[in-house]
């Protein structure tokens, strides 16, 4: 459990402005091209999220949005990054395939030691969440289970495969968030029975979310170990986090939610800022 006086390490995030955001196709249950999207509101909500990270003392880098790629705003899907190594995404659906070269190019240009292009379908930090010495890996709807072995070989971390069974929670980051080393929050019913048993064994003190907060994308959150940024409408989860000693920060992500994304989807976590500075020196 975090303490009020706990120092917060500076985090570094990559984000993509939603300049071309729209819902023009449907590849998850939340997307409905028939519903209007307010692009200006989406930009304002995204900007508020960026400002929240900066106000917490974290650093945000930006990737240039590419016309014709409305979901490129969901930077978390672009790659998995641990230390100075990155596994670039290979998307399940052709509508998003062109995002991968853009993120690959950015990571290569910014000096990551290894930028690996995958053999198997994986959707970046949407399905890969690092917890200290362990990598939680989702499968069932997007990322191929064969990719889990590929990630283990690249990052040298043990991989825990978790199977998603509810299509409303098609990425791991819609059903689970890492709060800090050894601490998570998740929605049990999003997972297979076996995966629920694994999570209970590994994280007996996890924060559990109910269906309402999960559908509000409350688990699509970003934590620095003390502060947890999540959609403001996940009120029950906000209270549970506060009771556990975290500092929840609610933000409005309603417009981006129309495409099946929220806080974490918009945020690709890179290596800690101190390591970035050392690597650049």
Q: What is the CA radius of gyration of the chain?
A: 17
**Which one is catalytic: 16, 104, 265, 266?**
265
Count of CB atoms situated within 10 Å of the CB of 88: 23
Structure tokens at 162: 């978790």
Count of CB atoms situated within 10 Å of the CB of 186: 25
Residue with tokens 């890492």: 178
110 a catalytic residue: no
| Spatial separation of the C-alpha atoms in residues 198 and 68, rounded to whole Å | 40
Q: Are 73 and 65 in contact (CB under 8 A)?
A: yes
Q: Are 71 and 99 in contact (CB under 8 A)?
A: yes
**Which one is catalytic: 104, 171, 257, 266?**
171
Q: Are 82 and 281 in contact (CB under 8 A)?
A: no
265 a catalytic residue: yes
Residues that are catalytic: 171, 265
């Amino acid at each position: 459990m975090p303490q009020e006086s706990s120092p917060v390490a500076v985090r570094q995030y990559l984000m993509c402005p939603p300049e071309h955001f729209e819902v023009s196709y449907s590849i998850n249950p939340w997307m409905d091209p028939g519903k209007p999207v307010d692009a200006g509101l989406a930009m304002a909500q995204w900007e508020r999220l960026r400002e929240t990270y900066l106000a917490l003392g974290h650093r945000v880098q930006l990737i240039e949005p590419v016309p014709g790629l409305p979901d490129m705003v969901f930077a978390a899907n672009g790659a998995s990054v641990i230390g100075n190594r990155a596994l670039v995404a290979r998307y399940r659906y052709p509508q998003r395939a062109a995002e991968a070269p853009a993120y690959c190019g950015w990571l290569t240009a910014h000096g990551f030691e290894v930028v690996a292009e995958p053999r198997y379908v994986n959707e970046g930090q949407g399905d890969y969440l690092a917890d200290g010495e362990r990598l939680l890996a989702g499968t069932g709807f997007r990322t191929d289970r064969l990719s889990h072995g590929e990630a283990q070989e690249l990052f040298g971390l043990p991989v825990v495969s978790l199977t998603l069974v509810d299509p409303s929670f098609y990425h791991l980051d819609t059903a689970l968030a890492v709060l800090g080393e050894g601490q998570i929050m998740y929605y049990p019913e999003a997972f297979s029975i076996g995966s629920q048993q694994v999570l209970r064994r590994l994280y007996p003190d996890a924060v559990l979310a109910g269906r309402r907060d999960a559908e509000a994308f409350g688990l699509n959150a970003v934590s620095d170990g003390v502060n947890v940024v999540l959609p403001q409408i996940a009120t029950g989860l906000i209270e549970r986090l506060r009771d556990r000693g975290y500092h929840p920060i609610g933000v409005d992500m309603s417009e981006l939610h129309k495409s099946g994304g929220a806080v974490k989807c918009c945020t690709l976590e890179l290596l800690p800022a101190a390591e970035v500075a050392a690597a650049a020196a």
